[in-house]
Amino acid sequence: MSLLDTTEIMQLIPNRYPILFMDKVDELEPGESIVVTKNVTINEEFFQGHFPGNPVMPGVLIIEALAQAASILILKADRYQGKTAYLGAIKDAKFRRVVRPGDVLKLHVKMVKQRDNMGTVDCQAIVDDQVACSAGLTFIVADAESKL
């Protein structure tokens, strides 16, 4: 059973199809960690061009999925209700396994530090108990209408 479904996720973050890369939140410890599921299907638009005959989820979209999971972790904090989390930096991104249609991507995000409207998280995208991608992300929280 999920803690948040897609509809509830869309109430927290502004992402929508075709750039919403999560299906449900499995675990959430506010201010600490989150685990999110993304079911990767052949119907994803990016597989039309990446790559014909050899479908592989682009690494940049795996990072985007991790950033979206981090956004939920961040925006579930009372002080950030109604705000938007923006990706500020990507550190030490490593890609260790390709992600293909049929894979279930488990997005694990842990809060490292948080101060005022900024913070960092450590992330892993895991398929079949293998790390597909790991990275550190920096985020900035602001009003949705603000121009950073």
Catalytic, 50? Answer yes
In DSSP terms, 124 is beta-bridged to 108, 134
Q: Confirm if 108 and 33 have CB atoms less than 8 A apart.
A: yes
Choosing from 50, 83, 100, 110, which is the catalytic residue? 50
For residue 68 the two structure tokens come to 């979206």
DSSP string, the chain: --SEEHHHHHHHS---TTS---SEEEEEETTTEEEEEEE--TT-GGGGTS-TTS----HHHHHHHHHHHHHHHHHTSGGGTTEEEEEEEEEEEEE-S---TT-EEEEEEEEEEEETTEEEEEEEEEETTEEEEEEEEEEEEEETT---
Indicate which residues carry an active-site annotation. 50
